[in-house]
Amino acid sequence: MPTYRYLALTADGTRRRDVIQADSERQARQLLRDQELFPRRLALAEAHSRKASRRGRIGATSLALLTRQLATLLDAGIPLGDALDALVKQADQPRARAILLAVLNRVREGYSLADSLRDHPTSFETLYCALVAAGERAGRLATVLERLADYLERVQAQRQKARTALVYPMVLVAVSIAVVIGLMTYVVPKLAAQFEHADMALPLITRIMIGLSQLLQSSGLWIALLIGLAVVGLRRALRRPALRLRWDRGLLRLPRIGELVLLLDTARLTRTLAILTRSGIPLLDALRVSRDTLGNQRLRQTVDRIAEQVTSGISLNRAMAESRQFSPTLLHMVASGEASGTLEPMLERIADTQEGTFNRRVDMALALFEPLIILAMGGVVLAIVLSILLPIMRLNGAMAL
């Protein structure tokens, strides 16, 4: 049954946007009138599906919840079409409902769930579709969806933890910068005007602060605009593959940041490999899918080379060792897993270890970052206060003489 997106008015003139299923546009309009809605615009949802995918997507939290609900419904023996229909009816967001309806219609037309999900790449990534396809082939879709929901919830929890941990430092930096800008653009100019009437040589620190204050007053907006343009230009430049590769290669070479990037992407790689191989996907295909979950382009190239070597018959442990990107402990654990036939649980253990190490180092860095911010901003404020107090003290000393 086709799905239509509509814009309608209620009896009190309120606009309502949503989707509705009907055999024809005429029936859709009649169904809306039966609900005391007056349609203003009506169009097939399929005509807007790609546009909606480009403009937005199902959020990470909603996707994890939908995956968990679908797994529960399928595990209870409910057919796939009925399970998707239940998800459509309880979806809160119109865009999510439209995407789920489009997926449901494709499934009812005879397409597999994985093929239906691939029509919405911004909502369902390559890893998601690959796992669903593996579950359908093996006849264990509910089990695979359960694992996928666990993975999505873990990733979302990590992101939420990172955002929460960064809130206080970011607020502290923003408030400190606002205080410094207020002192430099309001307090220092007023005092500088007073010093101009006094016939005395100002200290060096005072002259520097007055010069910076005048610069902020005359060109502050231009400086902020240039900084914004530089950030936008850098982000656009990093969209070029060659520049992004050089940038990511440089990140890996930084003493502390490179270690954190490697830990995070290694955890992603091993976690994804464990989920894929445990779901019945061959190791070579799992490597190619896992590659797309990595954020660093240099590490993506490394995984590509590992996949090529595995294709030629080299073991995963040896291929990873030749890349010289992974720690000896990780390589020993992969070798042990391959030798004992327990590669999947060993990869899970590696991912847990890497994530634990990453979280501990990030927590330690944030714990050190906060007092460093306070000390730095305190030093700036102290310099401003000294630039104000030193001329006043000299002036009082001159008047006393």
Whether 118 and 65 map to the same domain: the answer is: yes
What's the CA gap between 286 and 325, in Å, rounded? 19
Same domain, 37 and 88: no
| 139 and 73 both lie in a single domain | yes
Q: What's the domain range around 13? A: 3-44
Predicted pLDDT at 197: 67
8 A C-beta contact, residue 105 and residue 119: no
| Element spanning 173, H or E | helix 141-182
E-state strands within 86-150: none
In a domain, 146, yes or no: yes
Residue 182 lies inside a defined structural domain of this protein: no
The residue from 137, 152, 167 where one domain ends is 152
In a domain, 84, yes or no: yes
Half-sphere exposure (Cβ direction) of 16: Cα atoms closer than 13 Å: 16
Question: Domains in the chain: how many in total?
Answer: 2
Consecutive 10-residue averages of pLDDT for the chain (401 residues): 73 74 76 80 61 62 90 91 88 81 84 89 86 85 89 84 79 84 82 69 82 84 90 90 90 88 90 85 86 88 92 90 89 91 89 88 83 85 83 69 50
Tell me, yes or no, if the pTM score tops 0.85. Answer: no
In a domain, 400, yes or no: no
Q: Are 87 and 10 found together in one domain?
A: no
pLDDT of residue 53: 45
Burial class of residue 231, CB neighbours in 10 A (0-12, 13-18, 19+): exposed
- On whether residue 14 sits in a domain, the answer given is yes
Query: In CATH, what number is assigned to the domain containing residue 131?
Result: 1.20.81.30
Flag whether 349 is in a domain. Answer: no
Domain boundary among 103, 131, 152: 152
Q: Is residue 26 one of the residues assigned to a domain?
A: yes
Q: Do both 29 and 72 map to the same domain? A: no
**Phi, psi (5° rounding) for residue 9?**
-110, 140
Q: Name the residue with tokens 């101009």.
A: 196
Same domain membership, residue 64 and residue 32: no
Domain-located, residue 21? yes
Angle between helices 141-182 and 257-278 (to 10 degrees): 160
Edge-to-edge strands, sheet with 38-44: 15-21, 3-9, 38-44
Q: Does residue 85 share a domain with residue 22? A: no
